[in-house]
C-alpha cells in the first residue's frame, strides 16, 4: 500500500497538479467538512460508483483516521487496477491536526 502524508497532500494541492481526492466517509460527514476538491463516494457506495473514479490518473483516498481506507485501497486496486493510488496517512483527522485545525472533524 502507498501512503501520502498530510503535508505531502497539501503540497500536491498547492502545486495545482491534476489528481482526484475521494472522501470515503458517509455523505453527512463529508457535508460537515472535507478537503477542498474531494468528491464524496461513501465506502458502501463504491461498487456502484466506480465509473466516477479516474483509474488512469493519480487518486488519493481518505476516511476519518486512515484505517478503513486499507479496504478501499485493496478494492480499487483489484477492480480498477489504479497505478497511482494513495491513502491519506491518518485520514482527515490527521490532515486537520497538521494542516487545517479549523476543520470540524
3-class DSSP assignment, residue 92:
helix
pLDDT of res. 4: 98
pLDDT of res. 16: 84
| Chain center to CA of 71 | 13
pLDDT tens digits for range 61-88: 999 999 899 999 999 999 999 999 999 9
pLDDT band at 19 (very low <50, low <70, confident <90, very high): very high
Domain architecture of the chain: domains with CATH: 3-98 (3.40.250.10)
Other Cβ atoms closer than 10 A to 85: 22
Whether this model's pTM surpasses 0.75: yes
Question: Does the pLDDT of residue 1 top 90, yes or no?
Answer: yes
Amino acid at each position: 500500500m502507498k501512503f501520502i502524508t498530510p503535508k505531502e497532500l497539501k503540497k500536491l494541492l498547492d502545486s495545482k497538479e491534476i489528481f482526484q481526492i475521494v472522501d470515503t466517509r458517509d455523505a453527512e460527514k463529508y457535508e460537515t467538512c472535507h478537503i477542498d476538491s474531494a468528491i464524496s463516494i461513501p465506502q458502501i457506495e463504491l461498487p456502484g460508483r466506480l465509473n466516477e473514479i479516474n483509474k488512469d490518473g493519480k487518486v488519493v483516498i481518505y476516511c476519518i483516521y486512515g484505517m478503513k481506507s486499507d479496504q478501499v485501497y485493496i478494492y480499487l486496486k483489484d477492480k480498477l487496477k489504479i497505478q497511482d493510488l494513495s491513502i491519506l496517512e491518518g485520514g482527515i483527522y490527521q490532515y486537520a491536526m497538521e494542516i487545517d485545525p479549523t476543520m470540524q472533524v
